Amino acid sequence: MAPAPNNKIPIGNYVPLYVMLPLGVVSIENKFIDQEKIEKELKELKAAGVDGVMVDVWWGIIELKGPKQYDWSAYKCLFLLIQKIGLKIQAIMSFHQCGGNVGDVVYIPLPKWVLDIGEKDPDIFYTNRAGIRNKEYLSLGVDNQCLFQGRTAVQIYSDYMASFKENMLDLLEAGAIIDIEVGLGPAGELRYPSYPQTLGWKFPGIGEFQCYDKYMREDLRKTADNAGKPKFNLPDDAGTYNNTPDNTGFFKKEGTYQTEYGNFFLIWYSNKLILHGDQIIAEANKVFRGFPVKIAAKVSGIHWWYKDRSHAAELTAGYYNLSDRDGYRPIARMLSRHYASLNFTCLEMKDTEQPATAMSAPQELVQQVLSSGWKEFIDVAGENALARYDATAYDQILLNVRPNGINLHGPPKLKMAGLTYLRLSDDLMKQQNFDLFKKFVLKMHADLDPSPNFGNPAPLRSTQPEIPIEKLLEATKESRAFPWYPFTDMSVEGGNPFD
């Protein structure tokens, strides 16, 4: 690559960087706590060149008092502070419980009035084969069931987003809120809660299918009947949370997943997840169309057992991904009709950091998923899965955001639309950690000065016509990921390669 001074690097190489705020920045009592500390830290982030922050907007806080009894006051106060400091806002519509996943240090359940309905009808929650309920997120089996005082789950989510829009209208119109990430499952991710720590899962267990509530059972029964396969039922040989693939009949070599029945079940299970995301993202598009925002869905980085032929942990989570079947590109294709972004995790991880027994391949998984998004011509954004403050993790992220490096003639062909760093904490703000983080911000920006208007979205366009499921499934055809450089040309420790 030919040398070039910094001021010759085109602005198109700039990748915005956002920082997640603490999970409990608004408390379960709906109070904006530690305002002075947060304001001080936000100013330090701004001075470091950070472009914006991401905030979980918890359903369990906002609609706590009862159906349609929304209280946005604490979040409005927080958002106005962020706007005053000059940072952009990524808002997560957090329809899931906080607590029970990796890194959760705060507990915020679903609204009590929803949990009360679940006491009478526990099948509104995801359920494993043993009948154990998971109250992190409503089962997608109730998306269109009028079980919530006359509303369906999808209507609840839509009403919540509409109320958010009404109460944050000035911030949306001013372009202060630039991203709406729509929570679609546990941890806000489009997946089933297949590996809940609170129910005993430990890494690298394969997890369990979560479709044994009565609504999902009935859906599968109807699907099987319509397909002329009335004897096809839910699997009974897929093991438990902490099994390895070879310990199960379903995932072992030449196991059930490779049979006609296994293929039928996995198509149904994964399709239900895609249609769940499609329906709720469509509602988000209706609410926010015309505003200068992007909408996004988050996909989980399930990297363990990726090297096993079964990809068992991905399958239980709802990603029907095998060596000859792309389980992620259909999701990207679905998002494309809504002009939505795909947000992916585990960008900081390297294969060599994982235990060999986990058959883990985060680098190959990241390449596959990002490539799937780019092949469908959608924006791809991402985040680190675990808190890291070291150069190795930063350099791996930098490689993933520009897989083929800087382009001296314009925007890189392959470039992520943004990166959200997990997260603002006392550890991040320690002097040594923050000094290196500031170098990371600079390299994310390709050594360019902070650009407050770079990447500001155009008004959100209306959803395109529904894509038939057959068209979505055409995207499962195996295709090679785009090539990656072996290392970044913008290392946090290596200086500018153009000097």
Work out whether strand 294-299 and strand 340-344 pair parallel, antiparallel, or are unpaired.
Answer: parallel
Q: How far apart (Å, rounded) are the C-alpha atoms in residues 298 and 318?
A: 13
Q: Is 385 assigned a ligand-binding role in the annotation?
A: yes
Q: Are 14 and 419 in contact (CB under 8 A)?
A: no
Q: State the SS3 of 323-342.
A: CCECCCHHHHHHHHCCCEEE
**Does the annotation list 104 as a binding residue?**
yes
Return the sign of the alpha-carbon dihedral for residues 28, 29, 34, 40.
positive
CA distances from 402 to 14, 389, 441 (A): 10, 20, 14
Pick the closest to residue 420 from 50, 77, 44, 116 (CA basis).
50
Q: CA–CA separation, 330 vs 360, rounded Å?
A: 23
Asked whether residue 423 is marked as a ligand-binding residue, the answer is: yes
Q: Can you tell me the distance from the alpha carbon of 88 to that of 180, in angstroms, rounded to the nearest whole number?
A: 12
Task: Name 151's bridge partners.
Answer: 148
- Residue 384 annotated as part of some ligand binding site: yes
**Does the annotation list 222 as a binding residue?**
no
Strands 418-421 and 88-94, by their bridges, are unpaired
303 assigned binding-site residue:
yes
How far is residue 497's CA from residue 323's CA, in Å, rounded to a whole number? Answer: 36
For residues 216 and 271, is the Cβ–Cβ distance under 8 A? Answer: no
Q: What are phi and psi of 311, to 5 degrees?
A: 50, 45
- 345: annotated binding-site residue? yes
Half-sphere exposure of 320 (CA within 13 A, CB side): 23
Residue type (1 letter), 15 = V
The b/e string for 429-454 (b: 16+ C-beta within 10 A; e otherwise) is: eeeebbeebbbbbbbbbbbbebeeee
Question: What are the residue numbers of the active site?
Answer: 189, 383
- Binding-site residues, in ranges, read 56, 96, 104, 298, 303, 345, 384-385, 423
- Binding-site residues for substrate, in ranges, read 56, 96, 104, 298, 303, 345, 384-385, 423
